[in-house]
Structure 1
């Protein structure tokens, strides 16, 4: 009698459900928790203005670093990329640099994952100072090498200095330069000397030393106000590949959808395909990373034409004349379908705003804005700091529920 064939193991997504795409991150967390990690675990959150505002991401950063060690601030957009830029854990100043954003249709690349660069033709400087001592034990600066490029100088406040020419006979490409830091460094200044164009794509500060990085969590938020998922199609593939190799993220959090849902120009005939293709591009560039796709939070606008079929009036005391844009629901459904098809973890930001009176979270932006004190902004699209913190805690708790499930399954083997 022949032996019965061994039963094939269940696919990961059937064992652990919606958390299957996050398993690489859970493995990295396990390494930190066990004390075996010799390097930090990097999280990259990429998105629109909800990401550019560091309130949501900083709450995630705070919670992760509290439970899995603080390795420093991590990779940031360079200098001051936009007005009202207030990154957590560091202070940044800048003079003489001009921010150039991939959001501008007339701005030429190449672009990295920060989707912004700082340009200078004349003398310019930018300084980064971590709030915590030891927060810049090590660091890197990402810049463009380009024909006619000028001199770039990196100076630490305790005397370290590195200078390099950014000139190259080749087409523009990204290069990385170590910051000349020590355990006593408190701040680092990056300067262009004014002898040719200099372009900075990003910079990273972290704890530990160049030879021995501190283990723990690095959490980067890379957001461009007004952007859609399509902005990532402007990233140069060669630059992206090198960035992902160096940053080595273990979790990608992709959070777009608000602007697609409020824009009247979104092409929904091809949106699902573009959304899927761009996220696959990121996954291919960072094959060791887990993935969470985030659907947009609740948002409403005033209805100006009858029949007002989507009115929030029945759902919120202040909802008369306001409604969720129909396109926002189309975006949400497209993202849900893509995530399910690929077994990617999806997290519903609007659902995280739900309560018993609003079980699906629709029109809650009005309720949140009417609280005392309010936790949503008057534009009925963005949250205030407390609202971002509350919803970030919801995502964190969800991820940790998956981590507990993964651990329980791991110990059953």
Structure 2
């Protein structure tokens, strides 16, 4: 009998190992074009923890969860514009075009249209993994997920009841609490030239240039010429109301940026120092970030939207459009370019970029205050990017359709929490298989 049971376990494990290897080969090699050296770097980051593994394998998440028959999806013809890779580390602070330091979602590379539930469930799983790593019990993990989900639902109701307006709602130190409020308050005292002071210096010729380190490295002469050449193309993609005089965007220096997010390893990323205009503190230079982007991972698994792809065929433009749809006052430097056959988007590298780190989440109250804001932000990005923004793409109010799909909120919270904690265990199991595979192969 034991031999039969052992055979069952061996076969189940072998099948999952084969599936994992197939998925990683398909997406990292065939889709991303990563060579062995880049895969080694990426996988070296992913083996740090189950949460880091989860962040770097969104394609595995979508492969699995699109097969789960959740009853809470909105109809296929009533999708939301989703962030596509929602997790604890994709929220943070930055400065919007009105000069306010706000807390919001800060990564839009996987933006697509589909059921809101994929954002919410991915976030719920990430809460379970994150809090598990910080030593919270399973009951405490469940309570944190439930707190996030209830916050999400309550904010949707506030939009539906016209108490709040998703088109104008922002999260600042005035309407947040706990760790988020503390980070926003601290950033409010930061000098605008903080980033420039940190990563640039004035050379012997009196010119500001990048200061080389492990993460910021020189580009080749060819790369420099390519980037200088596409700045005219970039200028044309900036919203008319945000355009400055062309001299404002004059390139002063360019650097290659390393140390990117786990899922972005293998994609080109540059910092561009431009002339700028007179800014607060007397600093006139500023740093743009130019990042290569590929097809959104959810697009491989969610229902195909011909309307979406006709409107957002350029992947850099897709990312820019996603950010504009989800933010009230977006980055005035948003634009996109093509270099050879690669798509890039451009945005300001905010001097106020910062997230709430794990060491700031000391008590359960710290978690709940932070997750409450994250839930409200999630509701805002879903409700904002609907018919008010994209009348051709989304012809309905997302908050109305999502509330309708959720139905009984208490049952919804119980079901999603249960499923998220269960999938957390699947991630941890896959992480063990993945680590063994990486050690054997690399």
Q: TM class by shorter-chain length?
A: under 0.3
Give 1 or 2: higher helix fraction.
Answer: 2
Of Structure 1 and Structure 2, the greater strand share is in 1
What TM-score results when the alignment is normalised by the length of structure 2? 0.26
TM-score normalized by the length of structure 1 = 0.27
Q: Which has the higher contact order (CA 8 A, sep 6+)?
A: 2
